Amino acid sequence: MELLDAFKWRYATKKYDPSKKVDQVLVDKIVEATRLAPTSSGLQPFEVFVITNQELKNKIVTVSNDQKIIADCSHLLVFAAWDNYTAERIDHIYALTTKGREQPEDRYQAYTDRLKSMYLNKPAEVNFAHTARQAYIAFGFAIAEAASLKVDATPMEGFTRERFEKCHIITHRVS
């Protein structure tokens, strides 16, 4: 479908039929769209969780203003921005980039050193604001891809770490 036609079709769905499940092939395409989204320095500083477990979705309803659509939707995609940049995270992403692009091992050494000197001295809140913006770009791509596949979707925000931790949805912190 032409992109603008897909956007005209799209709307924020307010009710889901819990008996209907989106085909995994389509969900995979939506997740792939997030992977292909541009991010600052290609750092992809977020995780995307695809949640189908009913018990977990029910729990998330309780920390998301009791929005029942979370329980009823077939797949809940949670975009979790990194809480900060770390040397390990930067190295991990660039190890993947090096491998994916079949580059020599030290190809990005100078570049990642520069990234570390840029980010590692900044306050965590400043870096989190940056990672969150990157997550929003990927989230936009996911919504656009869902529309192009005619998959109903509802954008949402307000999933805070504190609320997730309070009801034991997050059981440990990833540094």
Ligand X SMILES: Cc1cc2nc3c(=O)[nH]c(=O)nc-3n(C[C@H](O)[C@H](O)[C@H](O)COP(=O)(O)O)c2cc1C
Residues that bind ligand X (CB under 6 A): 11-12, 14, 67, 154-157
For ligand X, the closer of residues 14 and 133 by Cβ is 14
Amino acid found at 154? T
For ligand X, the closer of residues 66 and 105 by Cβ is 66
For ligand X, the closer of residues 13 and 40 by Cβ is 13
CA–CA separation, 134 and 131 (whole Å):
5
Minimum Å distance from CB 147 to ligand X? Answer: 10
For ligand X, the closer of residues 65 and 117 by Cβ is 65
Are 48 and 159 a contacting pair, CB within 8 Å?
no
Helix and strand totals (H; E) in the chain? 8, 2
Burial annotation 99-117 (CB, 10 A radius, 16+ → b, else e):
eeeeeeeeebeeebeebee
Nearest CA to 37 out of 115, 153, 143 is that of: 143
The secondary structure of residue 35, as a DSSP letter, is H
For ligand X, the closer of residues 67 and 98 by Cβ is 67
Minimum Å distance from CB 67 to ligand X? Answer: 6
Minimum Å distance from CB 142 to ligand X? Answer: 12
Minimum Å distance from CB 161 to ligand X? Answer: 17
Nearest CA to 62 out of 143, 137, 166, 157 is that of: 166
Minimum Å distance from CB 172 to ligand X? Answer: 27
90 Cα distance to chain centroid: 17
